[in-house]
């Protein structure tokens, strides 16, 4: 990983550490970011800019925005706690109404800093 990617991962972890969605904080020791723009040419992945696997974040662009890394790291966190159930929900229920997608979006919103101040860190986990 590049120093920029390591820094983005650390910032995303710091954001998620402010939330209490799961009993243990996200562990990033083995998490890696890979930039693979060609992968995102595949029909299933064309609409995404990032994709999370167990311990791996795949990105379309080498300069990801912090919200995207936070969103994908939230998925890694989800898989650290629900390694089988979380990925299976996409097969059973799809993407749009998936509770784990809603949770990752809520994590980004709850930890995003605004020009006029911070958003509340106490946003509930959408369950």
> Which tops the pLDDT comparison, 60 or 96?
60
Chain centroid to CA 59 = 11
Q: CA-CA distance, 9 to 3, in Å (whole number)?
A: 10
In CATH, the number for domain 3-117 is 1.10.10
pLDDT above 70: percentage of residues in the chain? 89
> Of 117 and 2, which is predicted with more confidence?
2
Ordered by start, the domain boundaries in the chain are 3-117
- pLDDT at 115 (0 to 100): 43
pLDDT digit string, tens, across residues 3-42: 999 999 999 999 999 999 999 999 999 999 999 999 999 9
Q: What are the helix (H) ranges across the chain?
A: 3-16, 66-81, 85-93, 99-111
**What confidence tier does 94 reach under pLDDT thresholds 50, 70, 90?**
confident
């Amino acid at each position: 990983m590049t120093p920029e990617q390591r820094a983005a991962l650390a910032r995303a972890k710091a954001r998620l550490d402010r939330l209490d969605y799961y009993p243990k904080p996200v562990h990033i020791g083995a998490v890696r970011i890979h930039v693979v723009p060609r992968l995102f040419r595949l029909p299933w992945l064309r609409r995404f800019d990032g994709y999370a696997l167990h311990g791996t974040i795949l990105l379309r662009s080498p300069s990801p925005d912090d919200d995207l890394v936070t969103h994908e790291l939230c998925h890694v966190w989800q898989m650290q706690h629900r390694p089988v159930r979380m990925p299976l929900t996409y097969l059973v229920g799809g993407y749009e109404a998936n509770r784990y997608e809603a949770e990752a979006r809520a994590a980004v919103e709850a930890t995003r800093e605004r020009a006029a101040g911070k958003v509340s860190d106490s946003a509930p986990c959408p369950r």
